[in-house]
Chain A
Amino acid sequence: MTSASQAAATAEVTEIDAGARGPVSLLIASGLVWLVVSSALALLQLLQAHSPALLADCPIFTYGRTAAMKETAFLYGWAANAGFAVALWLLARLGGAPLRSTNWSTVGLLFWNFAVLAGIVGIAVGEGNSITFLQAPRAIQPLLLVAAAAIAAPAILAWIDRRQQATFAAQWYAVAALFLFPWLFSAAQMMLLWAPVRGVLQAVSAGWFVQGVWTLWLAPVALAAAYYLVPKITGRVLPAYDFAPYGFWTLIVIGGWTGGRHLIGGPVPAWIPSIAIVSATLLLFHYIIVALNLRGAFGVKSTALRFVAAGLLAYLVGGLVDAVFAFRGLAAITQFTWFTQAQLQLALYGAFSLTLFGAIYFLGTRIAGRAWPSSPLLRAHFAASVLGTVVLVAGLAVAGLTQGNALADASATFEQIAADTRVWLEVAAAGQALLLLGNIVFAYHFIRLALAAVTSPVAPDAVSFRRPPAMEASAS
C-alpha cells in the first residue's frame, strides 16, 4: 500500500474525495433543495403570522400545517442531508482511506429524501403529529430511521477502520452525532408515536427529544465541521486542545438534561424545569472550552472560516442566551412567545447552517476538484445569510419580548399584542426573505459547480491543490 499512501500524500485532493464524491454531492444537492423549500415555507409562515388571512382558506397552507412542513423540511431535509454529507466526508478524510460500501449511503439518501417528501405531503393532507421535530406521519418515521442508519454506516466504518489510531475532536463529534441520532430518534418514536406515554409525560419526553436533536445531533455535526476547518485552514494547532475532551463530554452528558426548561410553570413537577435550568448553566463550561479552542476562526481571510466564525459566534451567543433565559424570572416573560422561536432560529440558522455553509464551501472544492465558479455569488450568499440571520433573530426576539410583556399584563388583548408585534414580525419576515434569497443563490452556485465538474472534468489544478505543509505542534 506504500505507493497508494504516497499517492495519497502528494495532493490535497485524493481518491478519498473521489470516492466520497457520489453520496456527498447528492446529499448536499438534496439538502440545498430542501433548504430553499423550507426557507420559502418559513417566509410564508412569518407572513401568515402577521396577516392570518394569507392562504387561510387553503387547507394545505393553513398556519399550523405550514409551520409543521417548514420545520420538517428544514430539519429532516436540509439539516439532516447536510449533516450526513459533512460527517461522511470528514470521517472519510480523517480516516485516511476511501469510503467503503458507499452504495449504502446512496440508497439510504434516496430513501431518506423520499421519506421526507412523503412526510411533508402527509402533513399537508392532515396526517401530521403536531409534535415538535416529529411532525411527519407516524408510518414514515421508521423509514427515516432505517435510511439514517444506512447513510451513516459507511461513515462509522470509515472511523472504525481508520489508518491513524489517534482520534481528533472532529471525529468524536461526528461519530457521536451519527451514533446517537438513531437511538434518540427511535426512543422518541416509541414514546410519542407507537406506544405513547401517558399525559404530561408526552410533553416531558418530547422536550427531551427536541433538546437531544440539537445537543446530540445538530450541534455535534456543526462542531465537528468547525473543529476540522479551523486548524486545517489556519494550519495551526488548536490553542486549548487539551481541554477539548472535557468540552465534548460536557456537551454529550449534560446537554440532554436541558430539555425541561420550556416546561417552566407547566403541569410537570418542579424538579424537571429546575434540573434543566441547572444543566443549561453547567453547559456554559462547554461553550467556554469551544470558544477557547475555536477562537482562531476569527479574522481569517477564508470563505469557509468566515462562515464558521459567524456560526461560532451565533453558537456561543445562543448558549449564553439559553442559559440566562432559562431562569424562571426571565422565562416567565419569554415563555410561549416569539422569543423562543428566536432562540431556535439562532441555533438552527445561525450556529448550525452558517457553519455547514462554511464546511460545504470547503469540501465542495475538494470533491469537485476545482474552485467555486463565482465570487460575487459567494459574497452575496455570505452577506445575505449573515444579515438575514441577524435581522430574523433580532426581529423575532423583539417581537417576543413585546409579546411577553404584553401577555403578562392582563389588560392587553390579543388584538393589541398583534398590533404591537406586527412591525417586528415584518422585520423578521424581511430577514427570512433575505435568507431565502441567499439560499437560492447558494443552491444555484452549487449547481453551477457540480455541472462544471461533471461536464468538463479536469485534473485538480496542481498549484491550488498542492500538498500543504505539515502541522507543527504548539511550542509549549
Chain B
Amino acid sequence: MSDQTPNDPRFDNAGATDESLLSAHERELGKKPADNGHYKMLPLVLLFVFSGLIFFAGTYLNEFSGHFDPSVFDEHGKPAQPGAATAAVDPLVLGKRNYDQTCATCHQINGQGVAGIYPPLDGAEWVTGSPERLVHILVYGLKGPVMVKGTEYNAAAMPAFGRVAGSGYNWTDERIAATLTYIRQAWSNQAGPITAEEVAAIRTKEGDRKEMTQDELLQLP
C-alpha cells in the first residue's frame, strides 16, 4: 500500500462518523430559539424573501396569465367577455363567396343567367323589389313559370336553400341574408340590404312549406 500523506488527494478522510452526523443534525432540527430571547436574523430574512417571492408571483399571475383562460394565448390578453361582438363578417364578402360558389352555377357569375333556362339576376325586378318575395324565393324555392325582365322562364325549378323541411342546403339566416344583400347591390342592382332578422321573421311566420309559385309570390307585399 503506498503511503498516504494527510492531505493525499487520492483519499478523502472522513470528518465524522455516520451515526454522529445523523444525531448532530437531528439535534439541529429540534433546536428552539436562543434562550436569551433574541430572534435570529436568518429566519426573518428568509421569511421576508419568501413572502416577497410569493407576492411577486401573485402579481405576475394576475397580470400575465390571461385569467387562466384556454383561449388566451397572448399573455397580455384578457379572456373575451361572454356575448362580446366577434368581428363582424362583412356580408358582402360572405354573400359574394356564396354566390360564386353556389348560385353562379346556374345564374352565372355575371348574373345574366342562361337564356331560356335560368333567369338573370342583374336588373331583375324580383331582386331589387320586395324583400319579402326575394327571401321567399331563396328560402323556400320557386316552382312553375316566372316572368323576369319580360321573358318567361319555366325550364328549371329553384331549390329551397333555407333551413326548412326538404331543403338540401340548410343555409343559416345569416347566410341567406348575406347572399341576398350581395345580389341586391351587385352588377347594376342598387337595392337595400336584407338582415338576418328579416329572414328569421319570415321563416317563423311561414314555418315549413313547399315552394311558392309566381302567383302566390305576387300576392305578398
Contact = CB atoms under 8 A, between A and B. Distances in A.
Task: Determine whether A and B are in direct contact in the complex, meaning some CB atoms lie less than 8 angstroms apart.
Answer: yes
B1 interface: yes
Contact of B8 (A304, A375, A471): A375
Given A169-B25, A237-B24, A270-B65, A12 B14 contact: yes
A386 B41 CA distance: 35
Interface string A14-32: 0000000000000000000
A213 interface: no
Given A277-B60, A375-B10, A96 B77 contact: no
Contacts of B26: 166, 168
A411 interface: no
Given A164-B22, A274-B75, A233 B15 contact: yes
B71 interface: yes
Interface string B112-131: 00000000000000000000
B88 to A, nearest CB: 26
A386 to B, nearest CB: 15
A361 interface: yes
A234 interface: yes
Interface residues of B, number: 53
Interface in B42-58: 42-43, 46, 49-50, 53-54, 56-57
A253 interface: no
A9 B19 contact: yes
Interface in A220-234: 231-234
Interface string B58-74: 00110011111111111
Contact of B70 (A166, A269, A375, A458): A269
A362 to B, nearest CB: 5
B13 interface: yes
B9 A375 contact: yes
Interface in A442-476: 458, 461, 463-464, 467-474, 476
Contact of A474 (B28, B53, B66): B28
Contacts of A288: 46, 49
A198 interface: no
Contacts of B22: 94, 164, 166-168
A371 B11 contact: yes
B66 to A, nearest CB: 4
B31 interface: yes
A292 B73 CA distance: 39
A237 B27 CA distance: 10
Given A240-B42, A267-B73, A274 B61 contact: yes
A289 interface: yes
Given A12-B14, A285-B53, A166 B66 contact: no
B11 A365 contact: yes
A164 to B, nearest CB: 5
Contact of A232 (B14, B60, B70): B14
A370 interface: yes
A42 B155 CA distance: 77
Given A234-B15, A242-B31, A303 B10 contact: yes
B72 A270 contact: yes
A273 B7 CA distance: 49
Given A96-B18, A288-B49, A270 B12 contact: no
Contacts of B69: 269, 271
26 contacts: A9-B19, A94-B22, A166-B25, A168-B26, A169-B25, A235-B15, A236-B15, A238-B25, A242-B28, A245-B29, A269-B69, A271-B67, A271-B72, A274-B60, A274-B66, A275-B61, A282-B54, A288-B49, A292-B42, A303-B12, A304-B12, A365-B10, A371-B4, A468-B13, A468-B17, A474-B28
Given A468-B15, A468-B16, A471-B16, 9 more contacts: A168-B26, A271-B72, A277-B60, A281-B56, A304-B12, A328-B75, A468-B14, A471-B17, A474-B28
